[in-house]
Amino acid sequence: MNREDFIMLNKDIVYLDSASTSLKPKCVIDSMNDYYFNNTSNIHRGEYNEAILNNKLYDETKMEIAKFINCDKREVIYTSGCTSSINMFVLGYMKKYLKNGDVVLLSKSEHASNLLPWFNLSKEIGIKIKYIDLDSDYKLDYSSIDKLIKENNVKVISLAHITNVIGDIRDISYIGDICKKNNILFCVDAAQSIQHVKIDFKKYNISFLSFSSHKMMGPTGIGVLVGRYDLLEKMEPLFLGGDMNLDFESDCSYSFKEIPSRFEAGTMPIAEVIGLLNSIKYINNIGVLKIHSYIKELRDYLVSGLDKLDNIVVYNRNSDSGIVIFNVDKIFSQDVAIYLAHYNICVRAGNHCDKILKDELGVSNTVRVSLYLYNNKEDIDKLLNALKNIDKIYDIIL
């Protein structure tokens, strides 16, 4: 699908690592180059044409995000990425809101970015972390959520929408309803889902939603935090400085600008905001539903190909997203990745930033293939052919 838009594919490369970061279409790169070549300026500080154009694009990107996920434009905050979005609301809101003994529900298949900020709060203010059970496919066991809520003082549920190792898609509509009924805040890590499935911030009762631009074909260095307006009113800015203050005096008094400007201190990544605008437009032009069904077709093709190789164990055959993890019998996952790199096949190996999933999975390292819209069956055939000859691995990599 649209491979010609991705200049990097002109190299003889099989890119199967999109869950780490996606490739960027030419229109995204062109839009950023246009800012640097023709329209450089800061924002909210100048009266000249370029500055006014960039103010407009900065704002238009928020409107595009608001439309994309159904939220209010004032609920959209730019950050440096999903990790910084999660840290922003955990430190800026949760640290004050939560009290010693309050319970936060997570799962063991979360990314480090949706675990460590909460672990830090458990050390700092004594919140308790409980894990929602995983079933035999390493997906959420939804029945355990009710039980945990009945038995604990649950204040927050924080989960990835699509997990980055198992690749399961969580029913966030269902969990959002549970949270609403029980007056629980619902935080969704959308790093792996924003580019694959439809998200409705309002309908799913989400309190805080976080994602990165670089996994949705946009540039690195920019992410988004979407927070429910009434919660943002109580959230403290973590960074103070230019462009977020309304006024300050020599007696140390100061006041903040309105929401969300007060959360965007200093010069923001302007070219990246413009790049993100174009990546969202690019996704919209194709349609997330179409992207999702295309990836599912590729994924099924990949899993059935892996099934035909007898030395491979696939751990997440019943997931729905473009993420497939496996191991080759008796070969360390990193060695498999080095071997595949010999054929210009890019995959990821290791624990994929989740160091506690091993408690459930029984292994700490796997090879991860992650597919996106520019992949095709030929890419998968190249991977399968390389894996067929893996008995030659040590002739090649040593």
| Distance of alpha carbon 175 from alpha carbon 178, whole angstroms | 5
Q: Which two tokens stand for residue 397?
A: 């990599």
Q: Which part of the chain contacts ligand PLP (CB under 6 A), choosing from 150-158, 184-192, 298-306, 340-348? A: 184-192
Count of residues that interact with ligand PLP, criterion CB under 6 A: 13
By CB under 6 A, is residue 189 in contact with ligand PLP?
Answer: yes
Which residue among 107, 113, 207, 316 contacts ligand PLP (CB under 6 A)? 113
Which residue in this structure is represented by tokens 């800012």?
35
Of the pair 353, 386, the CB lying nearest ligand PLP is at 353
CB 149 within 8 A of CB 183: no
Q: Which part of the chain contacts ligand PLP (CB under 6 A), choosing from 77-85, 151-159, 238-246, 294-302? A: 77-85
By CB under 6 A, is residue 164 in contact with ligand PLP?
Answer: yes
By CB under 6 A, is residue 351 in contact with ligand PLP?
Answer: no
By CB under 6 A, is residue 205 in contact with ligand PLP?
Answer: no
Q: Which residues contact 222 (CB under 8 A, 6 or more apart)?
A: 78, 79, 80, 81, 212, 213, 214, 269, 272, 273, 275, 276
By CB under 6 A, is residue 195 in contact with ligand PLP?
Answer: no
**Span 134-153, contacts to ligand PLP by CB under 6 A:** none
By CB under 6 A, is residue 82 in contact with ligand PLP?
Answer: yes
CB 159 within 8 A of CB 207: no
Q: Which two tokens stand for residue 30?
A: 């062109």
Of the pair 84, 144, the CB lying nearest ligand PLP is at 84
Q: Which residues contact 291 (CB under 8 A, 6 or more apart)?
A: 1, 195, 196, 283, 373
Q: Which part of the chain contacts ligand PLP (CB under 6 A), choosing from 108-116, 238-246, 336-344, 358-366? A: 108-116
Which residue among 83, 207, 279, 351 contacts ligand PLP (CB under 6 A)? 83
Of the pair 187, 312, the CB lying nearest ligand PLP is at 187
| Distance of alpha carbon 245 from alpha carbon 68, whole angstroms | 29
| Distance of alpha carbon 22 from alpha carbon 41, whole angstroms | 28
Which residue among 24, 108, 111, 292 contacts ligand PLP (CB under 6 A)? 111
Catalytic residue list contains 252: no
The 3-state secondary structure of 140-161, one letter per residue: ECCHHHHHHHHHCCEEEEEEEC
By CB under 6 A, is residue 191 in contact with ligand PLP?
Answer: yes
Q: Which part of the chain contacts ligand PLP (CB under 6 A), choosing from 69-77, 185-193, 253-261, 361-369? A: 185-193
- Identify the DSSP state of 237: P
| Distance of alpha carbon 65 from alpha carbon 210, whole angstroms | 12
CB of 282 to ligand PLP, least distance (A): 19
Q: Which part of the chain contacts ligand PLP (CB under 6 A), choosing from 107-115, 123-131, 327-335, 361-369? A: 107-115
By CB under 6 A, is residue 103 in contact with ligand PLP?
Answer: no
CB 129 within 8 A of CB 94: no
Of the pair 155, 368, the CB lying nearest ligand PLP is at 368
Catalytic residue among 82, 179, 187, 353: 353
Q: What angle do CA 56, 60, 63 make, to 5 degrees?
A: 145
Of the pair 57, 160, the CB lying nearest ligand PLP is at 160
Which residue among 212, 279, 316, 319 contacts ligand PLP (CB under 6 A)? 212
Of the candidates 371, 324, 374, 373, the one whose C-alpha atom is nearest the C-alpha of residue 349 is: 324
CB 113 within 8 A of CB 189: yes
| Distance of alpha carbon 122 from alpha carbon 158, whole angstroms | 14
Which residue among 25, 81, 176, 237 contacts ligand PLP (CB under 6 A)? 81
CB of 189 to ligand PLP, least distance (A): 5
Report the catalytic residues. 353
Residues lying near ligand PLP in the complex (CB under 6 A): 81-83, 111, 113-114, 160, 164, 189, 191-192, 212, 353
